Chain A
Amino acid sequence: MLQIPLWRRVLIWLLVAMGLWFAMPNLNYTTVERHNDALADIELLPEGADIPAELAAARDAWPGFLPATLVNLGLDLRGGAHLLAEVQVGDVYERTLDGLWPSVRDALREIRDQVGSIRRQDGKLDVLRVRISEPAGMSAALQAVRALSQPVVTLTGVGAQTLDVSSDGNDILITLSDAERDAIAERTLLQSLEIVRRRIDEVGTREPTIQRQGADRILIQVPGIGSAEELKRLIGTTARLTFHSVVSVTGNGDQSPGARNVIYPSLDDDGQFYILEKTPVVTGENLTNAQPAFDQNGRPAVNFQFNPTGGRIFGQYTAENIGNPFAIVLDEEVITAPTIQSHIPGGSGIITGNFSVESSTELAVLLRAGALPAEMVFLEERTIGPELGADSIEAGRIACLVAFAAVLIFMAASYGWFGLLANVALILNVGMIFGLLSAIGATLTLPGIAGIVLTIGMAVDANVLVFERIREELKTAKGPSRAIELGYEKALSAIIDANITTIIAAIILWVMGSGPVRGFAITLGFGIITSVFTAIFVTRLLIVMWYERRRPKTINV
């Protein structure tokens, strides 16, 4: 009776120890945070450089062999800004279709003898409507326009075409295919995310959250920033994309570039530097588009288009510099420096190189990262001051401690020695919640703190169920050991059913909720798991260990 095999005892203590081990860094929150920041800063230092004394001190304040992941504090606790932006994908559809007009015109002009005169009709923005004067030439016209359509380039590629072309009387109707719309929407969103991420990284705040939400939204949370207004300004600023002539390539970053030249490092290749002419040939403001594509040999490449001004300058420049490299520079870093292989008229070109489909997609994103691909409309913005967050933490901490103390006293008063054992389990329980939260890097929010307090209250429930049951079993005088065993056995179904229903609520909250509500769902869910674990394993083990040592004739629950 009342036997727990050794391996199980070891396993239980091991799990508890693991929980507490991961929870431990949170006791020294600021020290560990500085330690982590110092590590990140040291990482950024160039190789072989001396580590500044204060960084080293901060790093050494927390031993490296100890766990150093902390529970993240949510915006409502740390203060900062929260923005929900909607990317106006529709604008891009219209712009893409509008940009198609010159090539449609050129294609139809070539068969002018069959189609007669060509005129673009005004109308809805999502349809390009072109009227021809000779209806007999319609099929030739459709064929010519369809030739402009290309296979949609996506990583999953299913052979769809970019354009839907149909006729309506004397009119040719050109619309973007659904596949192309999806591809554009996807591309636009990825580009926006990339730009936003790059721009926020520039300010170097700690742990920003930049997430895609649904089809066309971006959630941006930046702790420590003064206001949502400030964040909006940052995201709204255009990053600088420039095209330069390359003077030379060097491995020495300190080399003097010479008059009217600049030296910029390579983005991908550490230790490689380019000396470039200071004045850019063209800038990102002249770029209208860039997409992943394939070259004549079927290798991944990147297509790009300039606006008319940029196209003219670029055409002239390429004609004069065949065989020379030129550099594509973003924020003073060289993304790539391809060699000009031919004169590039018409404002569009293709960048070939050592690309995979992924890297060409990435470069296309980067090429467009200079300008936001579409306007962003802000649907939701929240600013929480750091003082308010600090007040909330303080209030939550005090409330937690008071709740904790009150529940401990209440349990001890109600169940005596058994209550004390349950209290030990309760303390371990809260430790393990923090351990779990830290181990998976979850975010603690103000409702999350409420979830912990609620768990403190509810965690004793499983123990109460067992203790009440033991009391009942004792009445039928079976002897303490049997009563304890039966108590656990019979209370189990109630414990399981009761907690599964609560965890269903927690899971639904987590799936459907967002932000702070999710934080609450996480702590509630973890709280249920750890409280059931501590009640049916830890408290039981404690009771059994005590019972084995004392062998009491009677127990008083």
Chain B
Amino acid sequence: MRLRLVPENTNWDFFRFARLTFGFSIFLVALSLVLEAVIGLNYGIDFKGGTTIRTESAQPVDVGTYRQAIAPLDLGDVSITEVFDPTFGPEQNVATVKIQAQEGDESVAAETVNAVQDALRVIDPNMTFPSVESVGPKVSGELIWTAVMAVLAAIGAVLFYIWLRFEWQFSLGAVAALVHDVIITIGVFSLLQIQFDLAIIAALLTIVGYSLNDTVVVFDRVRENLVKYKVRPMQEVLNLSINETLSRTVMTSGTTLIALISLLVLGGDVIRGFVFAMTWGVVVGTYSSVFVASNILLMLGTKRDWSKPDANQGNQFGNVDA
């Protein structure tokens, strides 16, 4: 007996509630943008500058005590969070202390780090500091810029590639889907105030890749079916294509999610935010390839004469005069 996540020969109408699903997506995107504007993101030191110190102690972490110990140093914005992880031993109590970049410092101030460590050792003389990371404000500004450029470059490159391989309507649909995925993922980071650092940008770019992967598989089938069924309404062709690829979509998302969830649970707290972004991205990416990309393709329509696929190869403006 085989495991079938999707029944054979499905014939579901994915556009029956098109208004509802599309409206829901627009709502989520809008909500995410509002969250990002109002609450903002919990930027890590990569983007804001400052210092994070990871502490490890045999005694239980008391955030209040830590805060009191550091307060006399007058370091401005200090955030202290206790870190929990199933892989920690019983004597392993971990916290991270995040200190804002000190005013007037172009670079990294070693004295600040030493002062904080000394202050914390008063609480537990055996406290250790497994990692200390400082980023000066000068570098962090550049890092933000590079990150934004990276995401934009990825989106642009992909827009171009899909336009080359398909038609511009496909390209817009795919890019709308991945912009949707990226914005909603950032929205979740804003809502849950998970630390947003360089690794998260890497995760966002992976989401871009994954979301497309999914969309492209559906589009590839649409292209094939458009050649096969020349007079069927667009909506039926899209529905057929999504149903035909549904089993694959669910299988691949399934295996990827299995892998990511094991990493999320067992991979340790250091990369949890990163893995969380990817896990979330896979879920949204799968949803958006059906309910955003295909919806937009349906709205925009596309050329219906695919009988001579090679006629305009390499020249998108080939039949301007025709």
B-binding residues in A (CB < 8 A): 76, 84, 86, 227-229, 232, 377-385, 387-388, 391-392, 394-396, 398-399, 402-403, 406-407, 410-411, 413-416, 446-447, 449-450, 453-454, 456-458, 460-461, 464-465, 468, 471-472, 490, 493-494, 497-506, 508-509, 512-514, 516-517, 520-521, 524, 556
**Which residues 153-209 in B have Cβ within 8 Å of A in the complex?**
153-154, 157-158, 161-162, 165, 198-199, 201-202, 205-206, 208-209
User: Can you give 13 A-B contacts (C-beta < 8 A)?
Assistant: A84-B139, A228-B134, A383-B132, A385-B130, A403-B262, A407-B258, A457-B259, A494-B216, A498-B220, A501-B158, A502-B212, A504-B157, A508-B205
Assembled-state Cα–Cα distance A396/B5 (Å):
29
Q: Does B3 count as interface, using CB distance less than 8 angstroms?
A: yes
Stretch at the interface among B21-29, B70-78, B231-239, B247-255: B247-255
Q: Are A407 and B110 in contact, CB atoms less than 8 angstroms apart?
A: no
Q: Does B303 count as interface, using CB distance less than 8 angstroms?
A: no
CB neighbours of A76 from chain B (8 A): 270
Q: Does B129 count as interface, using CB distance less than 8 angstroms?
A: yes
**Closest CB-CB distance, B178 to chain A, in whole Å?**
10
Q: Does B16 count as interface, using CB distance less than 8 angstroms?
A: no
Assembled-state Cα–Cα distance A494/B136 (Å):
45
In the A-B complex, the 4 residue pairs with the smallest Cβ-Cβ separation, listed nearest first, are: A457-B259, A395-B268, A505-B209, A457-B256
Assembled-state Cα–Cα distance A359/B316 (Å):
56
Query: In the complex where A379-B138, A399-B262, A415-B2 touch, is A461 in contact with B270 (Cβ < 8 A)?
Result: no
CB neighbours of A498 from chain B (8 A): 212-214, 216-217, 220
Q: Are A497 and B165 in contact, CB atoms less than 8 angstroms apart?
A: yes
Stretch at the interface among B34-42, B271-279, B293-301: B271-279
Query: In the complex where A379-B108, A383-B132 touch, is A512 in contact with B149 (Cβ < 8 A)?
Result: yes
Among A407, A447, A499, chain B packs the most CB atoms within 10 A around the CB of: A447
Q: Are A229 and B217 in contact, CB atoms less than 8 angstroms apart?
A: no
Query: In the complex where A392-B268, A465-B248, A494-B216 touch, is A456 in contact with B205 (Cβ < 8 A)?
Result: no
Q: Could you tell me how many residues of chain B have their Cβ less than 8 Å away from some Cβ of chain A?
A: 76
CB neighbours of B134 from chain A (8 A): 228, 380-382
Tell me the nearest residue of chain A to B254, going by C-beta.
A410
CB neighbours of B147 from chain A (8 A): 512
Query: In the complex where A447-B274, A497-B165 touch, is A395 in contact with B2 (Cβ < 8 A)?
Result: no
CB neighbours of B154 from chain A (8 A): 504-505, 508-509
Interchain CB contact (< 8 A) of A464 among B153, B248, B278: B248
Q: Are B271 and A447 in contact, CB atoms less than 8 angstroms apart?
A: yes
Assembled-state Cα–Cα distance A406/B3 (Å):
14
Among B138, B248, B257, chain A packs the most CB atoms within 10 A around the CB of: B248
CB neighbours of A471 from chain B (8 A): 247
Tell me the nearest residue of chain B to A232, going by C-beta.
B110
Assembled-state Cα–Cα distance A415/B5 (Å):
12
**Closest CB-CB distance, B261 to chain A, in whole Å?**
8
Q: Are B150 and A512 in contact, CB atoms less than 8 angstroms apart?
A: yes
CB neighbours of B54 from chain A (8 A): 388
Tell me the nearest residue of chain B to A492, going by C-beta.
B220
**Closest CB-CB distance, A149 to chain B, in whole Å?**
34
